[in-house]
Structure 1
Amino acid sequence: MKAFFQIDDSITFLNHGSFGSCPKPIFEEYIRFQIELESEPVSFIQIKQPKYLKAAKTALAKHIHCNERDFFFIPNPTVAINTVMRSLNLQPGDEILATNHEYGAMVRTWNFYCKKSGAKYIRQNITLPVQSKEQLLEEFWKGYTSKTKVIFLNHFSSATALIFPVKEICDKAKELGLITIIDGAHVPGHIDLNISELNPDYYTGTLHKWMLAPKGSTFLYVRKELQDSLDPLVVSWGYESLAPSDSQFLDYHEYQGTNDIAQYLCTPKVIEFLEENNWKEVSKNSKQIVLENYKRFCDLLGTQPICPVTDEFLGQMASVPVKTDRSAELKTLLYDKYKIQVPVMPLNDNIYIRYSINGYNSQEDLDKLYIALEEIIATTDLIKK
């Protein structure tokens, strides 16, 4: 599988989770669309692009199990959450219940919104190590009060690489009359995603991470009943359109004029690549490598797993606690001396080394990380035991 990718052979790349990596056949499709755009921009944008976009949305809708008219493409989940944030109309004192495992950009987005609106962003503590799904759910709902109006939750946490029980939380939130906003950045192509079954109010997921699409490809799904209340993040030609379609939702959000959207148009090729190369099996094998190595790294670093080492909580990446107060220095040393690209991530006064495994990785890659950490422990004071 490594031959499909353009990753520098001199680097042991264990950080697919941050930005993904696009295989050559998909990247070639990406360039093909850009060349077609430049060869006749007017014809492409006004005539061809809507047809290509419809094909892309039809393919993705089938893949994530929702209606093609209930989502639109955007560059990343941060844009998605900023779009949703603008239309919430919360009142001073209203609460947004989240966890203390959310992605940093999202925390900043909600902090900005709360300063403007007077709402409160509640980062409910989830104790580590997680012992069970039931414990996680019990702790999460301890943050619920009569002032809670919105649930915001990562489906797959970034720094701690944990799968959260989104289905159970969405179901209970519906019973309580709460709005549910799910950040599924790491989900598409990583674990099964059935939006119709989850039934969130808003769901955003990237294609450029685990689905292997070109960078800047994300979708925002919005439940039909809420679509007309979602204001556009950028007002453009679709607002008070001279040629309105039967969907104000898509008019407002889908057409922004001059914009290269080649990454979105690659979606049919992305799904074709995954199917032709049996990527479900590739993903399954990658997850097995993640599970088999997790305890080994904890033993080396003198720490404990942050969750049961099963596929209920872990996918193709895992975060291993490491005792260091110089996380940036450790990350730089791993890259500069050992040529290993792996994040060393702080969260809630803890530090984690998060390794990701995909089709281009092998056990040998994790062995290189293990040997490097052994040497760092033996020769420096960066890691405490």
Structure 2
Amino acid sequence: MQSLFLLDPEVAYLNHGSFGACPKSIFDDYQKWQRELEAEPVQFITKNSLGYLQESKQALATFAGCGADDFVFTPNPTFAVNVIMRSLDLQPGDEILATDHEYGAMDRTWNFYTKKTGAKYVRANVTLPIVSKAQILEQFWKGYSAKTKVVFLNHMSSATALLFPVKEIVDKARALGLITIVDGAHIPGHIDLNIAELDPDFYTGTAHKWLLTPKGSSFLYVAKRYQSMLDPLVVSWGYESAAPGDSQFLDYHEHQGTRDISAYLTLPAALKFRKDHDWESAIAQSKKMILDHYQEFCDLLGTQPICPITPDFLGQMCSVPVRTHNPAALKELLFDRYRIEIPVMTLGVHTYIRISLNGYNTANDLNRLKSALTEIKQTTDLIQ
């Protein structure tokens, strides 16, 4: 399937998880929308785009299991969390409970907010290796206190590539009267998702990762009970609109002046691509490759898996612990000398080589990585 993508064929691309990769046909659809925009900007922006956007939203809503009027497109999940964060009315001493596995940009977002408000960002320590869901739940809720008002949790962690028991946490948080915010950046198109069944207060995910759309296409879902609470991050024509729609939530967050929404409009083409190319089989094959090879990479590097090697914790990604004194140099060497695109990520004092696969990857890519790591171990001091 590599020929379906725009990726450089000389590079072993083992990093779908960072920014995704867009197939040629979906990118062509993206440029079609951009060309229509430039052919008649006024008609596109003021009239036609409204219908186009609704069609794309309905396609994503059906796929993700939510109402089309209950989410808005955003450029990325960090933007989405900033929308939520700036509308929370937390008082000094109130607490946001998260884990120490959250995405770095999200940690920074909450640190910014707590410095401004006096609230506290609590990162529960979830130790590695993971042995069970029960362990995650027990360690997570140790961070809870009478001051906890918000639960913030990644559905799948970035550095450690681990699936978290989000449903169980959301259910308990609701019983405790807490606001729930889920960062699902790695979930849509990767792990089965039904937002209505999960029932968080807020959920953000990307389309430009595992749903294969062009970059800058994500979404923010908001349960109806919280839609009127959210102030617009960008105040524009939708605020105190001269022609208000049925939803203040949509008015505030969709009408933001001149912008190119072409990436948002590719969802129907992206979902058609999945159907036309039996992408569910490609996903299943990628997940199998992760399960089949994770232990081999740990053995090669003299480390241990950070979780049970099962679908309960792993999808199309896995993070292999590596002992290195210079993660950045190791990453650059893998790319510059071996033409392997793969992240070397740190979380606390630990470092991981994160492998993420999609339908364009084959066993040859993994063999290429094994050979490169073997040679690096033998010829440099970058891997201990």
Normalised by the size of structure 2, how large is the TM-score? 1.00
Structure 2 letter corresponding to 1:328: A
In structure 2, what is the Cα distance between the partners aligned to 1:105 and 1:198? 24
Q: Which residue pairs with 1:27 in the alignment?
A: 27
Counterpart-to-counterpart distance in 2, 1:238 and 1:245: 9
**CA shift at 1:47, angstroms?**
1.2
User: Secondary structure, in 3 states, of the residue corresponding to 1:266?
Assistant: helix
Counterpart-to-counterpart distance in 1, 2:276 and 2:6: 19
- What residue is the counterpart of 1:376 in the other structure? 376
The amino acid across from 2:190 in the alignment is: H
Looking at structure 1, the residues matched to 154 and 325 of structure 2 have their Cα atoms a distance apart, in angstroms, of 27
Find the counterpart in structure 2 of residue 211 from structure 1. Answer: 211
Write the distance in 2 (CA, Å) between the matches of 1:370 and 1:266: 36
Q: Which residue of 2 is the match for residue 197 of structure 1?
A: 197
Report the equivalent of 1:72: 72
Q: In the aligned structure 2, how far is the partner of 1:134 from the partner of 1:348?
A: 23
* 1:348 Cα deviation after fit: 1.1
- 1:313 alignment counterpart: 313
Distance in 1 of aligned mates of 2:348 and 2:163: 18
Q: For residues 12-68 of structure 1, what are the alpha-carbon distances to aligned partners after superposition, in whole Å with 9 as ceiling and x for unaligned? A: 110000000000010000000000000000011111100000000111100000110
Q: What is the CA deviation profile of residues 259-285 of structure 1, one whole-angstrom value per residue up to 9, with x for unaligned ones?
A: 100000111111111112111111011
1:3 paired to 2:3: yes
Q: Which amino acid aligns with 1:273?
A: F
User: Residue 344 of structure 1 aligns with which residue?
Assistant: 344
Summarize deviations over 1:351-378 as a string: whole Å, max 9, x none: 0000111010001100000000000111
* SS across alignment from 2:105: helix
Give aligned-pair identity as a percent. 63
The runs of 5 or more residues in structure 2 that have no matched partner are none
Q: Which residue number corresponds to residue 262 of structure 1?
A: 262
Counterpart for residue 360 of structure 1: 360
Report the count of equivalent residues.
384
2:285 aligned residue = 285
| Aligned residue number for residue 163 of structure 1 | 163
1:190 maps to a residue whose letter is H
Cα displacement (A) at 1:331: 0.5
2:147 aligned partner, one-letter code: K
Structure 1 residue identity aligned to 2:307: C
User: For the residues of structure 2 that align with 1:278 and 1:75, how far apart are their CA atoms?
Assistant: 28
Secondary structure at 1:376 match in 2: helix
Aligned-residue offset at 1:256 = 1.1
* Counterpart-to-counterpart distance in 2, 1:172 and 1:119: 22
Query: Counterpart of 1:108?
Result: 108
How far the C-alpha of 1:70 sits from its partner, in A, is 0.3
Q: Provide the residue aligned with 2:334 in structure 1.
A: 334
Paired letter, 1:288: K
Which secondary structure state, in structure 1, belongs to the residue aligned with residue 354 of structure 2?
Answer: strand
Matches within 5 A, 1:173-184: 173-184=173-184
Cα separation, 1, equivalents of 2:266 and 2:6: 17
| Aligned residue identity for 2:316 | Q
Paired AA for residue 368 in structure 1: R
Q: For 2:26, what is the secondary structure of its paired residue?
A: helix
Measure the CA separation in 2 of the matches of 1:3 and 1:328.
30
The answer to whether residue 85 in structure 2 is matched with residue 85 in structure 1 is: yes
Letter in 1 for 2:70: D
- CA distance in 2 between counterparts of 1:367 and 1:308 reads 23
The one-letter code sitting in structure 2 at the alignment partner of 1:349 is V
**DSSP 3-state at the match of 2:228:** helix
Per-residue Cα deviation, 1:273-323 (whole angstroms, up to 9, x for no partner):
111211111101100001111000000100000000001000001000000
Q: Which runs of 4+ in 1 moved over 3 A?
A: none
Deviation for aligned residue 1:184:
0.2
| Separation in 1, partners of 2:51, 2:20 | 27
Deviations 1:178-202 (A, max 9, x none): 0000000000000000000000000
1:9 CA displacement: 1.1
Deviation at 1:176, TM superposition (A): 0.2
Show the 5 A alignment for 1:115-130: 115-130=115-130
Matched letter for residue 372 of structure 1: A
What is aligned with 1:222?
Answer: 222
SS of equivalent to 2:180 = strand
Which letter maps to 1:236? S
2:53 paired residue number: 53
- Structure-1 separation of matches of 2:220 and 2:6: 28
Q: 2:233 aligns to what?
A: 233
Give the residue type in structure 2 aligned to 1:192.
D
Q: Alpha-carbon deviation of 1:325?
A: 1.4
Deviation at 1:162, TM superposition (A): 0.2
Q: Name the aligned partner's letter for residue 122 of structure 1.
A: V
1:238 is displaced (CA, Å) by: 0.1
**Counterpart-to-counterpart distance in 2, 1:325 and 1:157:** 23
Provide TM-score, normalisation by structure 1: 0.99
